[in-house]
């Protein structure tokens, strides 16, 4: 008895389609280098990859924030170093003035003293972050997001380091060098303490920078493990699937040929 349904051909055609789809998937993975190209490839894997990608993007942005914070404190640190140098020069002038009685010499010393004092204020005023001065008292703190969780931020505190804030405004070494020396000594202590605070800010930000870099590396690796295709394995798979597809297609053709020949033979018997 001959069935009107060619089951051998149907089974073979189904297999051919199956291997063709598998070959297409392998080819796509090789081309894109991704194991998951759409959610249907691996729904749970795509969910994990999306979460990893979100965290990775957040840590990269956090690094940008930290770098901005580090740049700010480094600018302040450099300015404080300059101000300390100015104060040292001013103290030297005051010590010289304390032992000088010549009016013209005292006037020259005072002019140099005034120039240093003006420069201190200029340095403090023009040490800025996004247009705002960090050392003239107008900006007392800057918040830096140092992690990806809400609230994981650090507040960097800043103080005024202008000549007025350091008590230098009314100093006159030509008439009272001793007071100037004492005031400058206090100003130097203030600057040293400020530098210590800024150094602590920079160290803290440096620690968080290292942590964020480590997290970026870890997340990048984890994301790659989920998303990246094994190109070598997929190349082997592609060749295997193509061979199986071709074999199944050949069986389909053979099954159809056998059926056709059988029908022709039977028809000959009837017509004969």
Mean pLDDT confidence for 135-156: 94
216 plus 254 within the same structural domain: no
Instruction: With H, G, I as helix, E, B as strand and everything else as coil, classify residue 144.
Output: strand
**Domain identity same for 96 and 212:** yes
Closest of 132, 135, 207, 145 to residue 166, by C-alpha = 135
pLDDT in tens, 201-252: 999 999 999 999 999 999 999 988 887 777 787 688 667 867 766 766 666 6
Specify the range with the lowest mean pLDDT, choosing from 10-19, 46-55, 125-134.
Answer: 10-19
Q: State whether 87 and 47 are in the same domain.
A: yes
Q: What is the CATH number of the domain that holds 179?
A: 1.20.1330.10
Scan for tokens 């001065």, then name that residue. Answer: 133
Asked if 69 contacts 142 with a C-beta cutoff of 8 angstroms, the reply is yes
Look up the domain containing 11 and give its range. 7-33+231-271
On the question of pLDDT at 1 being above 60, the answer is no
Q: In which residue are the tokens 């050949």 written?
A: 250
242 burial (CB, 10 Å; 0-12 / 13-18 / 19+) is middle
Q: How far is the CA of 234 from the CAs of 28, 197, 251, in angstroms? A: 9, 56, 25
76 shares its domain with 20: no
Q: Is the pTM of this model over 0.85?
A: no
Alpha carbons 93 and 65: distance in angstroms, whole number: 42
Number of structural domains, the chain? 2
């Amino acid at each position: 008895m001959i069935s009107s349904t060619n089951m051998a051909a149907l089974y073979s055609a189904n297999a051919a389609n199956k291997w063709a789809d598998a070959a297409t998937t392998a080819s796509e993975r090789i081309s894109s280098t991704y194991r998951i190209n759409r959610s249907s490839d691996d729904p749970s894997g795509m969910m994990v990859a999306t979460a990893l990608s979100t965290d990775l993007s957040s840590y990269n942005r956090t690094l940008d924030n930290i770098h901005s914070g580090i740049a700010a404190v480094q600018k302040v640190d450099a300015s404080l170093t300059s101000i300390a140098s100015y104060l040292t020069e001013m103290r030297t002038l005051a010590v010289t003035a304390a032992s000088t009685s010549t009016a013209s010499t005292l006037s020259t010393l005072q002019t140099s003293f005034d120039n240093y004092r003006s420069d201190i204020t200029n340095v403090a005023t023009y040490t800025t972050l996004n247009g705002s001065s960090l050392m003239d008292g107008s900006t007392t703190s800057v918040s830096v997001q140092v992690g990806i969780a809400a609230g994981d931020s650090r507040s960097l505190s800043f103080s005024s380091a202008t000549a007025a804030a350091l008590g230098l405004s009314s100093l006159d070494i030509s008439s009272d060098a001793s007071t100037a020396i004492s005031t400058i000594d206090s100003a130097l202590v203030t600057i040293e303490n400020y530098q210590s605070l800024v150094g602590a800010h920079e160290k803290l930000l440096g620690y968080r920078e290292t942590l964020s870099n480590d997290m970026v590396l870890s997340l990048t690796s984890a994301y790659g493990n989920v998303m990246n295709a094994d190109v070598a394995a997929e190349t082997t798979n592609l060749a295997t699937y193509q061979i199986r597809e071709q074999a199944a297609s050949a069986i389909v053709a053979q099954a159809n040929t056998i059926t056709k020949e059988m029908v022709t033979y039977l028809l000959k018997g009837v017509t004969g």
